[in-house]
Chain A
Amino acid sequence: MKVSCNIKVNHLSRVEGHGNIRIRIKNGVVEEAGWDVVETPRFFEAILVGKLWENAPYLCGRICGICSIGHTLASIRAVENAFGLVPDRQTESLRLLLKHMETLQSHILHLYFLAAPDFLQLGSVLPLIATHPEVVQRAARLKLLANDACDIIGGRRLHPTRTVVGGFTMLPEKSQLALIKARLEAALPDLVKTAELFHTFALPDFVRETEFVSLKGKDHYPFIGGDLVSSDGVIRAEDEYRQMTNEYMVDHSTSKWSRLSRQSLAAGALARLNNNFALLHPKAREIAASFSLQPVNHNPFMNNIAQLVECVHVVIDSIAITSELLAGKWQEPRQPVVPQAGRGVGAVEVPRGILYHAYEFDPAGRITRADCVIPTSQNNANIHYDIIELARQSAAQQKTDSEIQRLAEMLVRAYDPCISCSVH
């Protein structure tokens, strides 16, 4: 029998923000399919105009409730680049550690609370509290470690308080940092268990070739600043980001869309991994290998596994960073800031992909123009074309309505979209 169905998912659950899936198949032919973002815009780029520089990181962190640290760091980097301020090594290390802990927190939230229920045929993680308490406790333990680390470095896990242009308002106690290091070491077995859990899940076998965009690492797997790269061979400097994002509007989405060499592009853990695989810690590469994940992988469902691989990488790297910080003496936490006219761009890899903040300043340090390009807005076109292809392949494989809907929902969740962010 040829497939006919009319699937409409309004306000997809277990994702951040509001998006709709639509798939209409008649007699095995996809008549219509796509991804609509219906989120209300907040107009941060307008809100910033006229504001003094010191407002930018404080306000921009509030673009996102999950990756507020990433937004704050991208905003700080844009301001510092505009003013010609170069952070010292201590500040760089603390920022990277903070970034790592946000990555861990966000990936664990996604893997356990948002993605895993699909593989267990559940609507949420709640039933697991009774049936698999050790799984929920493990997720909570990992997430709590990441959040506690964000508290002692950034002052607060959500909308951080200590992160400012020039450095930090204050530094963590060494004793706190030593405790975090011990907990990081204890987290590695929990991540191995997480990998075992995901090995029991059947990841859908779906491939649509696309172009992956991320930061380009030199000596380290990249997170903060540097050149931009695509898997189709495009390389640009950080301040040429607009040539990587090429934003445009479509009438069924309040989020802008992006493209580079093809009709769509993908950002995120899988993009970072595809473009920088050799720079991952060997243990992280081992986990990747156990899932047969190697570059260039074009299965969007593998973004879940790429997130898991990154968890291993950031935990191991964080142990090294804390060791180095514990071995040294604390320097001044904050450099003085001298505003000047100019333009600055900050590119940071946040959990869902590469994020850009760009500001122009007048001589007093007031923002005259602001632009933020969000990972999920870069991914929205890719999600859209993936849904169309998934519908086509599902129709050819004569899948049932409910199976097609389940796959489409899982597909969108695999991107871990942050839809409010994409309509900032």
Chain B
Amino acid sequence: MTAKERTYLGVPVKKPRAAFFEFTSCEGCQLQLLNNEASLVDFLSLLTIVNFREAMTEQSDEYDIAFIEGSITRDDEAEQLKIIRSRAQTLVAMGSCACFGGVNQLKNRFNDLAWVKEQVYGSQAIDTREVLPLSAIVPVDLEIYGCPIKKEEVEKVVTNLVLGKSIDYPRYPVCMECKANHNVCLFDLGQPCLGPITRAGCDAWCPANRLGCWGCRGPAEKPNVGQLRQIMHEHGFTDEQLLDRLECFGGFAQYVTELKRTAKG
């Protein structure tokens, strides 16, 4: 598509060729890109989109930035990911599935692929493997967190990428953003919440809607999981309820192992 030349501080800005790909996922993160109707045309003019199978038929193997949604659950996906890596200068993991395995990795917790297959497909042969994030197969340059990704954050990240500016995520937890927004604490409303330990940047999207955080963006810097566990117990929640949330998206994998070792019913 054509658009007038963009400038930043009077300097012409190049329009990178961008490609979008998806592996095992709901494709919701790509749809989020189409879901911000007000700024969609502006956003599209930042990039030359050469691959977006969900919205366009044209395709190209020449691109600068690859945006990838989804986790890796089959060998052919791993091979395809390596090919994309070899072609892209910048590889962006988009959403919790790409960053951590996402809800898909919940099947890994059984440590029994044969049972998992049997539950869904009975005796029919089906090809699947342990769910992996992109970074387990290839180097990832940039991660955009969230289930789903937040369009405003993607726009900021993409603008900075195009301008060559560095991209910095908050190190503090969602709890900070929630307090800044004057939301009623979810614990005071009788709901469990991972806000105290989850990486901020979503503007406390779920707590603002009175849903406790499920940790889709992974851990904040030095998360105090032990303290949160104590808070959960004080408010009458079980280790099982904490575990449900900690293990949901894969970002807290190392803390899940520890909790499972010491969990009480």
Contacts and interface: CB of A to CB of B under 8 A. Distances in A.
B31 interface: yes
B31 to A, nearest CB: 5
Interface stretch (B54-62, B85-93, B152-160, B254-262): B54-62
A16 B240 contact: no
B27 interface: yes
A159 B96 CA distance: 13
Given A109-B34, A158-B31, A169-B209, A65 B26 contact: yes
A346 to B, nearest CB: 19
Interface in B103-161: 103-104, 106-107, 110, 115-117, 119-122, 124, 126, 128, 147-148
B197 interface: no
Interface in B192-228: 205-206, 209-211, 214
Given A65-B25, A65-B31, A144-B37, A43 B214 contact: no
B54 A16 contact: yes
A59 B120 CA distance: 16
Contacts of B121: 41, 249
B28 A65 contact: yes
Contact of A130 (B1, B106, B119): B1
Nearest to B40: A140
B176 interface: no
A124 B56 contact: yes
B77 interface: yes
Contacts of A43: 104, 107, 116-117, 119-120, 128
Contact of A64 (B26, B34, B110, B126): B26
A158 B240 contact: no
A322 B37 CA distance: 23
B12 to A, nearest CB: 21
Interface in B39-61: 40-41, 44, 49, 52-59
A126 B44 contact: yes
What band does the interface of chain B fall in when counting residues whose beta carbon is under 8 Å from A? 35 or more
B249 to A, nearest CB: 10
B100 interface: no
Contacts of A54: 244
B120 A45 contact: yes
A129 to B, nearest CB: 6
A11 interface: yes
Contacts of A161: 205-206, 209-211
Contacts of B67: none
B74 interface: yes
A147 interface: yes
B27 A126 contact: no
A162 to B, nearest CB: 5
Interface residues of A, number: 57
A159 B31 CA distance: 12
Interface in A62-108: 62-66, 68
B23 interface: yes
A42 interface: yes
B40 A420 contact: no
A110 to B, nearest CB: 11
B38 interface: yes
A123 to B, nearest CB: 4
A62 B103 contact: yes
A143 B37 contact: yes
B32 interface: yes
Interface in A29-65: 40-43, 45-47, 49, 51-52, 54-55, 58-59, 62-65
> 4 smallest A-B Cβ distances: which pairs?
A65-B28, A124-B56, A155-B209, A123-B57
11 contacts: A14-B54, A41-B120, A46-B119, A47-B107, A62-B102, A62-B147, A65-B28, A66-B31, A123-B56, A141-B37, A162-B210
Interface of B: 1-2, 23-32, 34-35, 37-38, 40-41, 44, 49, 52-59, 73-74, 77, 102-104, 106-107, 110, 115-117, 119-122, 124, 126, 128, 147-148, 205-206, 209-211, 214, 240-241, 244, 248
Interface of A: 11, 13-17, 40-43, 45-47, 49, 51-52, 54-55, 58-59, 62-66, 68, 109, 113-114, 117, 123-127, 129-130, 136, 140-141, 143-144, 147, 155-159, 161-162, 164, 169-170, 249, 254, 420-421
Given A43-B128, A140-B40, A158-B28, 18 more contacts: A13-B53, A13-B56, A14-B54, A14-B56, A15-B54, A17-B27, A43-B120, A46-B119, A49-B119, A51-B244, A58-B248, A109-B31, A129-B41, A129-B44, A140-B37, A156-B205, A158-B31, A162-B209
